[in-house]
Amino acid sequence: MGKKRTRHQNPEPFLADDNASSASKNRNKPRKHHQQEDKLISSGMSSKILKEAMIQQREVQEEVEGQNPIKQVFAEEAANAAGLDEEDIDEFGGFSETQSQFGGYEEEIDEEDEKLLEAFMSKDAGPQRTLADLIVAKIKQNDAQVSSEVRPLPKLDDSIVELYKGVGRLLNKYTSGKIPKAFKHIPSLQLWEEVLYLTEPEKWSPNAMYQATRIFASNLGVKKAERFYRLVLLPRVREDIRKNKRLHFALYQALKKSMYKPAAFNKGILFPLCESRTCNLREAVIIGSIIQKVSIPPLHSSVALLRLAEMEYCGTTSYFIKLLIEKKYALPYRVIDAMVDHYMKFLEDERIMPVIWHQSLLAYVQRYKNELTKEDKVNLNLLVGNQRHKLVTPEILRELNNSRNRGEKEDDLISIASPISVINKTIEEDRFDIPDVPMEED
């Protein structure tokens, strides 16, 4: 056997030996080029690297999915072409069921006002038409043999039918995350209504309806967006309010997104709702809160007021008129005159007008009193003489008295008694002699 090696031990272990001192000297020397540590990458550069990596990963994924001929037909360039940020859609976290279903807007619904408004609602109006009703009628018109089917299918390729029926099943259970690429491509299709019908929109989850509204509001033109709002979004919103006596938060947010196209919102949501003459006070308060919160261009507000003033009156129409007036836009004279004609329709109406009607008239007079002609003011004084409210009517008369006529300047106010002041005085003297007719209070 070889001689056993003896271990070298430092007799003074707590004192540095020569090797330790030389090591410390070497440690103090500057490092060579290949030994230098890498510097930290800036946050801006790291974000660029991550972004480039995500783009490359997406390209690889597209190449893999491009091998499927069905998916290749429905590429995803349509959303990018319209400027819609797909990352926002795909990273959607969903709305919690515990979030406020009024969208943070609460207003008590007076049962007496609700009953009074029912007198102005149509009882013969049929159910509102949906996209399914429209497509089914079109299919049955072209092919009489499918009249017996419960839900007939349009004449499309079988692979497309199966694809979008599968998309519909996903949207039925959708809560958060990515939306199928085939669905994002629907706005660019020529037969987009038939394809959308295959997904069964009436069965979508509320979160899916919100995502669909975001996509269609950004990718469709005004006319197509109007049809989507009127045939898909509005029936779903009204059905949810009818069942739950309030609106799901995701559907409320979908309505706010629909205001991205104000003209489509007016023609697809507001006008059909009022023309149906079945809009109740609860629906008016919920949908009206969106009009109150979201900024609307003056041109679209003017068109909305003109249309509401000319259509057949429904009690809740006054609520929407009041909200639009309170936005305090400078309206053209044509709209101001149309509003006077609207109120004068009720000069000889024997029904008790709801409180909201008097409030909308007060808001109109307060905002546009100096834009009214002398003849308009005489007519409005006659109107409030027949349609009175013990709290609101004195305020209307006060606004009419303390205003100048259209075209006059502030210094041109006439101090002498005018026909208007004579009528106002007569009404003020007689307002305590009103017969005992039940009146609505605020």
The answer to whether 199 touches 171, Cβ cutoff 8 Å, is yes
The answer to whether residues 213 and 346 belong to one domain is no
How many domains does the chain fold into?
A: 2
The answer to whether residues 187 and 259 belong to one domain is yes
The answer to whether residues 277 and 351 belong to one domain is no
DSSP letter string, 217-275 = HHHS-HHHHHHHIIIIIHHHHHHHHHHHSS--HHHHHHHHHHTTSHHHHIIIIIHHHHH
Residue 356 in domain: yes
The answer to whether residues 300 and 377 belong to one domain is yes
Residue 86 in domain: no
Which of 240, 263, 286 is where one domain is finished? 286
pLDDT < 50 stretches in the chain: 14, 16-17, 20, 23, 33-35, 37-38, 67-84, 103-106, 414-442
Angle between helices 374-386 and 355-368 (to 10 degrees): 160
Residue 429 in domain: no
Give CA–CA dist 167/171, Å, rounded.
Answer: 6
Amino acid, res. 128: Q
Residue 242 in domain: yes
pLDDT attached to residue 79? 36
Containing domain of residue 208, as a range?
126-143+151-286
The answer to whether residues 214 and 313 belong to one domain is no
Which of 254, 286, 318 is where one domain is finished? 286
pLDDT attached to residue 27? 54
pLDDT attached to residue 315? 82
pLDDT attached to residue 278? 86
Q: Where are the beta strands (DSSP E) in 37-188?
A: none
Quick: pLDDT tens for 241-300. Answer: 999 888 999 999 999 999 989 999 999 999 999 988 888 888 999 999 999 988 899 999
pLDDT attached to residue 432? 37
Give CA–CA dist 11/298, Å, rounded.
Answer: 95
Quick: pLDDT tens for 136-180. Answer: 777 666 665 555 556 667 677 788 888 888 998 999 999 888 888
The answer to whether residues 189 and 247 belong to one domain is yes
The answer to whether residues 266 and 163 belong to one domain is yes
Residue 214 in domain: yes
DSSP state of 119: G
CA atoms within 13 A on the CB side of 164: 26
Lookup result for tokens 């101001």:
336
Residue 89 in domain: no
The answer to whether 90 touches 179, Cβ cutoff 8 Å, is yes
pLDDT attached to residue 326? 92
The answer to whether residues 280 and 163 belong to one domain is yes
The answer to whether residues 258 and 302 belong to one domain is no
Which of 238, 266, 286 is where one domain is finished? 286
The answer to whether residues 269 and 332 belong to one domain is no
The answer to whether residues 159 and 181 belong to one domain is yes
The answer to whether residues 156 and 262 belong to one domain is yes
Residue 247 in domain: yes
Residue 38 in domain: no
